[in-house]
Structure 1
Amino acid sequence: MSLTDPAREMGEEQNSEPRIRAKITNEIVDYPHNDLASAAWFYRERLTKAFEDKARNDGIFLDMIALVTMTAFALEGYTNFVGERVLSGGAQGQENAWDDLERKPVKDKLKAIRKVLGFEIDWNKRPYQTVDELIDLRNMFAHPKAHRAEEREHIRVGTDSELRQMLRDHRPAYEKQLTWEFANIAYEDVETIWKDLLAVAKIEIHETWSGGSQGIELIEVLDGRDN
């Protein structure tokens, strides 16, 4: 009985394939907002379970950083998707307006989309009220820099234990802003904004999914000849 190497056999089979000349087409379009939104959903689900199980630990705060960051990135991805649809290539009477807006802040893009599609945005009410604070937090993490105590030296009255506790309670600005309540609100509001944008832009949800077609069109079989 002889033993054979499956990997070697597979290699021989592959090498036995004739070489071909072919036209390759790849019409795949990937939209990162789908992955970013999925990541935000993942962290939110994990945090929800952690809070329900009262599993409080240092990892919870790190997950909240990930949640709000992914939520903010998803908002930008959502805005870019709709903005490119309605503001590029002369769409809606615009002459490549998206080229001028692509690198602008998210809020500027939302204002431009609102102007073209003719819907109202109330920046003083949810869901749009959340945008400024969310982007502010996102910028703190995307462009990190030192956060020094607001009061470097001051006089306080209390016991030694009380004063030590006061120092231990010090938190940087981003840690004060980043609460579980805000992370939840931000996630919900961004998803609401997304649904609103799709509705006013008349975009079906399936149009926002990554996908497309790929193909190989045979031109000729080379049979080992030089190409």
Structure 2
Amino acid sequence: MTRERAFVKRQRDVNAFAELSHGNAVILENAQKKRDGYFYEAMASVVLSAFKFEAFLNHLGPRVFSFWADVERLPHANKLEILATELNVTIDRSRRPFQTLTELFRARDGVAHGKPEFLETKTEETATREELRRRKPLTNWEAVCTIEFAERAHGDTEEIARMLWIAAGFDEMELHQSGHSYSISNVQ
């Protein structure tokens, strides 16, 4: 293989939502295989669902509002409310998909701001001694780091993103689009 000396120019329009959404899907797929340590893949999937949702709000926001930089540091719930109001999208936090956001961000905050906790439970249970031995009390954020909740969080955040994107008048096919281009010219 011949090596060439060239001038290379690369450009990339980074869509953090698209990148995190893809990563979220990959990690979730790995967790669904239930290999050793899949709890941590489920946890990573839950956290990435929250991150990608925040990235989506910051992806859509500047396309809808010229002043988005002034509100970008607000909590996700406030940014969602601003966008939904402008786009005439009703948020019902008592029903999915919006209901999922409360639990999702509680879990995200538990992981992001982790601190020591002392947990104790006393229950009467029926199981083998080994099953009883392996059970442990869980923090609130650990309790939602399941494959089922990771699937729900992934799907519901995608649904909300699609709903808002379309309400803003954008083509659904462009929601996950990222750009990457390059040019190469030979050095003489």
Mark yes or no: TM-score above 0.5: yes
Quote the residue 1:121 is aligned against.
91
1:170 aligns with 2:141: no
Change (3 A) 1:216 1:48: closer
Q: For each residue in 1:28-55, what CA deviation from the matched residue of structure 2 results, as whole angstroms up to 9, or x when unmatched?
A: 32111111111111122122233xxxx5
Q: 1:77 aligns with which of 55, 77, 98?
A: 55
Does structure 2 conserve the Cα–Cα contact (< 8 Å) formed by 1:127 and 1:189? Answer: yes
Pair member with larger Rg: 1
Q: What are the equivalent positions in structure 2 for 1:1-227 lying under 5 Å apart? A: 14=5, 28-50=12-34, 55=35, 57=36, 59-88=37-66, 96=67, 98-149=68-119, 165=132, 168-204=135-171, 205-206=173-174, 208-211=176-179
In structure 1, what residue type is equivalent to 2:43? I
SS in 2 for 1:28: strand
Does structure 2 conserve the Cα–Cα contact (< 8 Å) formed by 1:123 and 1:129? Answer: yes
Root-mean-square deviation (CA), in Å? Answer: 3.4
Aligned-partner Cα distance in 2 for 1:122–1:191: 16
How many residues get paired? 182
Gaps of 5+ in 1: 1-5, 89-95
Aligned-partner Cα distance in 1 for 2:120–2:97: 31
Change (3 A) 1:136 1:214: same
Identity %: 30
Change (3 A) 1:184 1:213: closer
SS in 2 for 1:127: coil
Aligned-partner Cα distance in 1 for 2:79–2:94: 18
Aligned-partner Cα distance in 1 for 2:49–2:152: 11
Change (3 A) 1:198 1:168: closer
Question: What displacement does 1:179 show?
Answer: 2.2
Gaps of 5+ in 2: none
Quote the residue 1:92 is aligned against.
none
Question: What displacement does 1:101 show?
Answer: 1.3
